[in-house]
Structure 1
Amino acid sequence: MPAAARPGFALVAVGGYGRQELLPGSDLDLLLLVNRRGDPGAVADALFYPIWDAGLALDHSVRTLDEALAVATGDLKVALGLIDARHVAGDEELTATLRSGARDGWRKQAGTRLPELAAMCRDRAASIGELAHLLEPDLVQAYGGLRDTLALRAVTASWIADRPRTAGVDVARQWLLTVRDALHRTTGRRQDRLLFEDQDDVAVRLGLPGADPLLRRVAEAGRSIAYASDVTWRDVERTLAGRKRRGRRQQLVRRPLADGVDEYDGEAVLSRDARPERDAVLPLRAAAAAAQAGIVLSPQTLARLAAECPPLPEPWPAAARDALVSLLGAGPGIVPVWDALEAAGLVLRWLPEWERIRYRPTRTPVHRHTVDRHLVETAAVAARLTRRVARPDLLLLGALVHDLGKGVRGDHSEAGEPIAIALGLRLGLTEPDAATLGRLVRHHLLLPETATRRDPDDPATLAAVVDAVGTREFLDLLACLTEADAAAAGPVAWSPLRARLVGDLVERTRHVLAGAAPPEPARLTAEQAALAAAGDLAVRVSDAPPSADGDRGGLAVVTVVAPARRGLLGTVAGVLALHRLDVRTAGAYTAGDTAVLVWRVVPRRGGGPDGVRLREDVGRALAGSLDLRERLAARAAEWRGRVIVHARPRVELLRDVSAEATVLEVRAHDEPGLLHRVATAVAAPGVVIRAAVVETLGSEAIDVFYLVDDAGAPLSPEAEDDAVAAATAAVSPPDTDSEPFPEGAGRVR
């Protein structure tokens, strides 16, 4: 570059370009540095216009040396970028002066800049999450990602703390850069979030057998970086706090936490009289004390505990089991302590079963974490529910182990029961308590699945729950585990509606277990009965009843009263879809020749449902003047053009669910008009939809239909086959030439 070769001009690479880490989607970060005598205009044009003409992404600036250093003084991001400044062309002495001045300024401002940088890292972690435990991780911004490795470099450059003492950070960083490069090449664009639809393709590009091994290696890299960040930021805090103490002549003191464990300088450390080589329970006791105090174990203490403490005998002594329960009961304090224990290898030493679910992704629409982090988060939530149960220890242990079956083949609830029993016995539980722990794992999905996917008015629904739980004490445990499990999964899994439906089921079950007769099935309200008696078409909109905390979750209730006719439910579902109302539940009742349909809906956009317009459109649809099929098909086609669907739909007949009806379950990716298509297809001649239980979890639609014939009896085998075929065709993509359904479609369970 002849122009830049003149004295007084320097072309400097900063950011990723400065670190020589350019990827296919990266910008060129360039600084044209000039002295006060230079005229930068011609030089800048000669340098930057060819880059723009080549179509390359360019982030550039033109500054004097004083301007560059002044901007770095007031802008944290600029200061971080200059730490990695690299000379490209021109006056090398000018670049060297910039580098020296930027680093000197960074070190002088470290006392104020590092806390600012730490706050940025904490905010980013809170808003995005941890790389190691996300199902669609952001390789750059998530905690433990590439942005945190830059923060570690900045800390090292400040001379406040040494390079991370945790081995493998550099290897982890290189791996994340490799994955990011593969992601850019696979998608053809700058994209840092590893989405579900790209994971298999990225894995193939990297020579891995599939998405799960890819996520496992990404998670391991993220955990290594996150743990190094935890340790480093604590070193920074202690160093800066020490500087302040020296000015006030304050002395650090030890505070006893537990036998052999003290708090010192914000960390849990071994007391001076501790004998780790003689104390197998000490690691658990130290972890519990740290979590209960809201602090972490020091790295040196962890290393000693892992290296010097003998293994626990089997079964565990009561002191070890009590320490584990105390650790689980620490609430949010368990998370950083558990991560440190994992990094030291202690968790796998105590719970070898943990290896099967460590960093294991959960490909469901409700979960936000990997299986291992979900179990820890469930225990943290369960800690605040322990006052509701007679055996808080079993609740906390159940929270920790309820998904261990996801590491083996088959239904994870069934597979997890023997794992939990064997683990409970190893922990020193009595055989009855270990059996109870196993039952908690076996039935941990019973309440939410029954409450949201079964007809509450069918006698078999409540009878199945009563038979499974057996006692009020076990019901309380199961109800609290259900809440902790769902709340830890995310807001979709524990919405106000789901909480209310589960709560209603628990109360009905508790009523029967107390010796009372089963509650009467739900009846029409006085208003609904009056509308049904009139026999005319009517539509009413009202607010949904609030949950215990007063939250309605955006729900509204739409009641439609109309003369009973085949396909009514599907027709009304189509009108609701046209009005962009997402159906959460649907109930059907009859009063003579009149049908009453009660819907809980959530508006997809704008305000609540417009009852007048709904009444008009339902009337037009029933009269045949509103073409629901064509309008919804157009909307669904537009939706399919924007969304990639990987999982195939599934249709099943559910046996042993009801003695009074044939129960058909349909699972598919939610799309406009789906319920309308399925309900219309299933309601063939001779088939009546007695009730429908509709649930949408994220992008997943789960619709359960209770079907009877014209005489009110369950369907014949031939009619069952026809219903499965009709539902299968309704959920299959319209342009599928080959067999549209996965193996096992229509399978009975």
Structure 2
Amino acid sequence: MNKIVRQRAIVDRRALIGRLNDLAASDLSKVKRRSKVLEIFKEVLNAGRAEVRTRFDKHGDGTQTVRENCFLIDQLIRVIHDFAAAHEFPHSIRTAGEAMSLVAVGGYGRGELSPQSDIDLLFLTPYKRTPWHEQIVEYILYMLWDMGLKVGQSTRSADECVRLAKGDLTIRTALLEMRWIWGDQPLFKELKARYASDVISGSGEEFVESKLAERDSRHEQMGDTRYVLEPNVKEGKGGLRDLHTLYWLAKYLYRVADVAELAETGVISKDAWRRFAKAQGFLWTVRCHLHYLTGRAEDRLTFDVQPEIAQRMNYADRAGSRGVERFMKHFFLVAKDVGDLTRLFCALAEEQQKRKPKIRLGQLLFLKRANIAGFKLDGDRLTVVADDQFATEPVAMIRLFHTALEHGVDIHPKALDLLHRNLKRINAALRADPEANRLFMSILTSRKNPEVALRLMNESGVLGRFIPDFGRVVAQMQYDMYHVYTVDEHTVQAIGILHAIERGELVEEVPASSEVIHKIASRDALYMSVLLHDIAKGRNGDHSVLGADVALKLGPRFGLSDEETETVAWLVREHLTMSRIAFKRDIDDPKTIADFVAKVQSPERLRLLLCLTVADIRAVGPTVWNGWKGGLLRELFHRAQDMMLGGLAEAREYRVQAAHRTVTAELTKQGWTGSDIEAHLARGYPTYWTSFDTATHLRHARLVREAEATKAPLTVDSRVDAFRSVTEITVYTSDHPGLFSQIAGAMAVSGANIVDAKIVTMANGMALDTFWIQDSEGGPFNNPAKLAKLSAAVEQVLSGRMRLDRELAARKGKLPTRTAVFKVPPRVMTDNSASSNFTLIEVNGRDRPGLLYDLTAAMTQLGLQIASAHISTYGERVVDVFYVKDVFGLKVEHGRKLDQMRDTLLKALEDPASREAAQ
């Protein structure tokens, strides 16, 4: 335990006792005296905390701070106990049955106390509690509670502690860390001896299994990954609790006071101990900053505190990366180190208990072999044949992962620890070794799941050393709400998703890519492009362009042909193109498809790009992909394929005629007359018939027919599309300027998020507008009551009975504090080259309720007609693209008008709350 310097600056126990003795000697009543005593203790506590905080602000060492906090509380508890025993409940002669020991348990027992942590106390008695025990315990507890401390407590005998520890894992773990604070020492020593002989002895295997199961359950609840946007410093994977688990296992199995003793006895390497201490110190420091910054026992590194803690820990901005990103990268690297230590300790625990490994039947024949590709088996896990194997044969460091993947066995943690110690041997010579590169390509393109091997290669540090460019993005995070994982974790997950697509595991969710992936000529190029698509993130420049340069360099090294290398470079450079076109452009516009085809050029590249795009998006985060995005990508793929194979114009005319034939046949079956069918077909322009599928055409036909028959001024229809995770809202009413804006406002009032919109004007002057909406969680807006409210809101807005400005103003709240830290610079761009008939307006800004209404209302005021809107949200950032014409039905090309559009829309992008505050 670290020595605490200048202890009396934190709490001068002698001076405190003197003040209390003076007070006890006064003639104050007992009630008034207690009040004065409490004031003194509060004063000393606050002064001690301020001193500890001042020291922390100066040296920034969490390891020292948690010890100093613990020391402060220890001294206060001792003085409170002595004052109560001497002055409040004095006993001239205390019997043996009235002995008591004050014991710290849990984290407090370890001697670690973060600024806002709970204090866990055990009041240990010889057997049954006496009235004097109860008086002392009550006095101590109420004094601590009245001082504002959070205290967890129990009063038990040694017999009770042993009995409860045998049946309750939490109590057993808390007692494992017991530490004497004050009182009767023989009583405490008796409990320690009883705990060792009656609880620990013979229960090592049970304890190990229970703690590891507890850890796995905790990881699952926290998302089972250490790479999350807002990690939990204590409970998350790779956090303090994982280190605590290692400490518990070490103490339970080896009877050591701390992990350092394991290194001294040679159970673990000194390097492993140094990594343990370094990781623990970093996590303690972060946790102390969290507690001081928030003023509460907060363990989540939320968005709003990350920049401040980064600044306090001296992480400055650098070219290509912000200080907060550098801080979080360090955090994730520490979490990864904790994972390495966890694997090592688990192996030690298993060896200590001589547990028999669980062997799968399919491995029995394999396990009979003494030598497997130059390695041996320890239980059912692969390990080295000699401690110097990696030193004498560096290529074995790559072959180890290849062998484990191909034979479906785990790698022994001791082999991984040996890898870590030999990482420096992964040098230029090994990177140039043809056999090492062949083995790596075999891993990357394996028919087994390459994600398993690549993740382990990454976590062990091998992948970043073998491919230094990849090493630069290990633990690289992006400070936004869209990217859930670090770049390296996202990449490894994307490769796993690509493998799942190839195996046919995602046919229902991604049918197009599941089909075309088997038509691809170069698997190697596809898998390599997924590995490299984000490899240049965090550098100063466009990561797609810079990544393509990396691909050109690495392709030949991994044995790719010139053609394959060029293909990989193109895929990396264009890996965002397909999603950008699908989500931000009108794919019903022939020029959109023509421009996309001109860039892609070949069906093979189109297939490759689709598979890469799907894997990339699905690996961004668990809620980013939905069926709606999949549908847009599929449609873009098929239309581009049509143009490549036969020309889009011919394909479009064919599709219009095919739609007419199909709709005619279906409506005839439903009893429509020929004249009614002809009238309905005449209502739709060619674009309408190519924009929707047959089922939608038939729904529209029934809706329009009923509306025309009843002369209804407004018809609103809804349909839940579970596959695409959206609710489709169709509005049929008279077209007029500002209609889109009014409907968008009504939906904002109803709490719906518009993810896309299709605006159609029929030949009869009626609008048949379709909106695809979701709820705030990214699911379909399917609550019946909310849908009814939405329909009523649309009707009230269009009839003029609802004032949208008032309704939206009442609903617009401030951004949540946790996410308000994100700043998105507003940006408005216009483009007259992307479409033959429309001006494109792309709007980027901070998402907020009612934003789409504000934007479209501004466009209406500018006299613009909105033909289609494409709404994309990336975490806190919204990217909306509108196809517009002026009042004369022409593109907007006058410079002054374009400037006016930009200025007006930039003003609409401002948050009304910020605007009001500025005024």
Aligned CA RMSD, in angstroms, stands at 3.2
**For 1:484, which of 608, 615, 628 is the aligned residue?**
615
TM-score (norm 1): 0.90
* 2:238 pairs with 1:144: yes
Question: In the alignment, which residue of structure 2 is the partner of 1:31?
Answer: 122
Instruction: Find the aligned partners of 2:371 and 2:835 in 1 and give their Cα distance.
Output: 56
3-state SS of paired residue (1:196): coil
Shift of the 42–178 alpha-carbon distance from structure 1 to 2, 3 Å rule, reads same
* 2:336 pairs with 1:223: yes
Instruction: Find the aligned partners of 1:141 and 1:382 in 2 and give their Cα distance.
Output: 31
* 2:547 pairs with 1:375: no
Question: In the alignment, which residue of structure 2 is the partner of 1:283?
Answer: 397
Q: Cα offset for 1:713?
A: 2.3
Long gaps (5+) in structure 2: 1-80, 87-93, 256-261, 317-322, 359-363, 503-516, 653-686
Deviates more, 1:679-688 or 1:8-17: 679-688
Instruction: Find the aligned partners of 2:606 and 2:808 in 1 and give their Cα distance.
Output: 43
* 2:210 pairs with 1:116: yes
Q: Cα offset for 1:263?
A: 3.9
Instruction: Find the aligned partners of 2:244 and 2:605 in 1 and give their Cα distance.
Output: 50
Conserved 8 A contact 1:124-1:141: yes
Q: Cα offset for 1:344?
A: 5.2
Instruction: Find the aligned partners of 2:847 and 2:424 in 1 and give their Cα distance.
Output: 54
* 2:761 pairs with 1:590: yes
* 2:574 pairs with 1:434: no
> C-alpha offsets along residues 686-728 of structure 1, whole Å, 9 cap, x if unaligned?
3111110112344443321112112332212322222222221
Conserved 8 A contact 2:398-2:436: yes
* 2:747 pairs with 1:576: yes
Question: In the alignment, which residue of structure 2 is the partner of 1:746?
Answer: none
Deviates more, 1:584-593 or 1:267-276: 267-276
Letter in 1 for 2:186: E
Question: In the alignment, which residue of structure 1 is the partner of 2:835?
Answer: 658
Conserved 8 A contact 2:238-2:335: yes
Question: In the alignment, which residue of structure 1 is the partner of 2:278?
Answer: 171
Q: Cα offset for 1:25?
A: 1.4
Q: Cα offset for 1:333?
A: 5.8
3-state SS of paired residue (2:798): helix
Shift of the 610–276 alpha-carbon distance from structure 1 to 2, 3 Å rule, reads closer
Instruction: Find the aligned partners of 2:85 and 2:103 in 1 and give their Cα distance.
Output: 11
Q: Which runs of structure 2 are paired with 1:148-227 in the superposition (5 Å)?
A: 148-159=242-253, 165=269, 166=272, 167-209=274-316, 210-227=323-340
Instruction: Find the aligned partners of 2:239 and 2:180 in 1 and give their Cα distance.
Output: 27
Question: In the alignment, which residue of structure 2 is the partner of 1:690?
Answer: 867
Question: In the alignment, which residue of structure 2 is the partner of 1:236?
Answer: 349
Question: In the alignment, which residue of structure 2 is the partner of 1:13?
Answer: 104
Conserved 8 A contact 2:828-2:905: no
Question: In the alignment, which residue of structure 2 is the partner of 1:528?
Answer: 700
Question: In the alignment, which residue of structure 2 is the partner of 1:745?
Answer: none
Deviates more, 1:596-605 or 1:409-418: 596-605
* 2:713 pairs with 1:537: yes
Conserved 8 A contact 2:755-2:772: yes
Conserved 8 A contact 2:639-2:648: no
Question: In the alignment, which residue of structure 1 is the partner of 2:884?
Answer: 707
* 2:474 pairs with 1:358: yes
Letter in 1 for 2:346: W
* 2:164 pairs with 1:71: yes
Question: In the alignment, which residue of structure 2 is the partner of 1:52?
Answer: 145
Question: In the alignment, which residue of structure 1 is the partner of 2:737?
Answer: 566
Q: Cα offset for 1:517?
A: 3.1
Q: Cα offset for 1:403?
A: 0.2
Q: Could you say which structure has the higher helix fraction?
A: 2
Conserved 8 A contact 1:574-1:628: yes
Instruction: Find the aligned partners of 2:227 and 2:331 in 1 and give their Cα distance.
Output: 10
Conserved 8 A contact 2:547-2:573: yes
Conserved 8 A contact 2:529-2:612: yes
* 2:246 pairs with 1:133: no
Shift of the 297–608 alpha-carbon distance from structure 1 to 2, 3 Å rule, reads same
Conserved 8 A contact 1:276-1:308: no
Deviates more, 1:340-349 or 1:710-719: 340-349
Conserved 8 A contact 1:678-1:731: yes
3-state SS of paired residue (1:704): strand
3-state SS of paired residue (2:305): helix
Conserved 8 A contact 2:728-2:773: yes
Instruction: Find the aligned partners of 1:43 and 1:73 in 2 and give their Cα distance.
Output: 28
Shift of the 699–164 alpha-carbon distance from structure 1 to 2, 3 Å rule, reads farther
Q: Which runs of structure 2 are paired with 1:92-111 in the superposition (5 Å)?
A: 92-104=185-197, 105-111=199-205
Conserved 8 A contact 1:645-1:669: no
Letter in 1 for 2:713: L
Shift of the 195–602 alpha-carbon distance from structure 1 to 2, 3 Å rule, reads same
Shift of the 230–332 alpha-carbon distance from structure 1 to 2, 3 Å rule, reads farther
Shift of the 295–144 alpha-carbon distance from structure 1 to 2, 3 Å rule, reads farther
> C-alpha offsets along residues 219-263 of structure 1, whole Å, 9 cap, x if unaligned?
222111111101221333455454689xxxx99955478632344
> C-alpha offsets along residues 257-300 of structure 1, whole Å, 9 cap, x if unaligned?
86323444232224589976675543222212213444343355
Q: Cα offset for 1:133?
A: 2.5
Question: In the alignment, which residue of structure 2 is the partner of 1:89?
Answer: 182
Instruction: Find the aligned partners of 1:179 and 1:491 in 2 and give their Cα distance.
Output: 27
Question: In the alignment, which residue of structure 1 is the partner of 2:64?
Answer: none
Conserved 8 A contact 1:451-1:502: yes
Deviates more, 1:257-266 or 1:598-607: 257-266
Letter in 1 for 2:307: D
Q: Cα offset for 1:350?
A: 1.8
Q: Cα offset for 1:320?
A: 3.5
Instruction: Find the aligned partners of 1:580 and 1:256 in 2 and give their Cα distance.
Output: 65
Instruction: Find the aligned partners of 1:561 and 1:673 in 2 and give their Cα distance.
Output: 22
Instruction: Find the aligned partners of 2:192 and 2:388 in 1 and give their Cα distance.
Output: 49
Q: Cα offset for 1:617?
A: 2.5
> C-alpha offsets along residues 629-688 of structure 1, whole Å, 9 cap, x if unaligned?
111122113556886252224223153432322222223333221111111112224311
Instruction: Find the aligned partners of 2:484 and 2:553 in 1 and give their Cα distance.
Output: 29
Conserved 8 A contact 1:650-1:667: yes
Aligned residues: 731
Conserved 8 A contact 1:694-1:704: yes
Letter in 2 for 1:620: Q
Letter in 1 for 2:231: P
Instruction: Find the aligned partners of 1:313 and 1:371 in 2 and give their Cα distance.
Output: 27
3-state SS of paired residue (2:490): helix
Q: Cα offset for 1:98?
A: 2.2
Q: Please tell me whether Structure 1 or Structure 2 has the larger radius of gyration of its CA atoms.
A: 2
> C-alpha offsets along residues 368-427 of structure 1, whole Å, 9 cap, x if unaligned?
211111111111222233453332222221111110121312222122111121121332
Question: In the alignment, which residue of structure 1 is the partner of 2:798?
Answer: 622
Shift of the 244–145 alpha-carbon distance from structure 1 to 2, 3 Å rule, reads closer
Deviates more, 1:616-625 or 1:159-168: 159-168
Long gaps (5+) in structure 1: 741-749
3-state SS of paired residue (2:304): helix
Q: Which runs of structure 2 are paired with 1:666-681 in the superposition (5 Å)?
A: 666-681=843-858
Conserved 8 A contact 2:863-2:886: yes
Instruction: Find the aligned partners of 1:219 and 1:310 in 2 and give their Cα distance.
Output: 22
Q: Cα offset for 1:732?
A: 0.7
> C-alpha offsets along residues 434-474 of structure 1, whole Å, 9 cap, x if unaligned?
11111111111122222122112112221232122222222
Question: In the alignment, which residue of structure 1 is the partner of 2:32?
Answer: none
Conserved 8 A contact 1:289-1:327: no
Instruction: Find the aligned partners of 1:630 and 1:146 in 2 and give their Cα distance.
Output: 49
* 2:846 pairs with 1:730: no
Shift of the 278–471 alpha-carbon distance from structure 1 to 2, 3 Å rule, reads farther
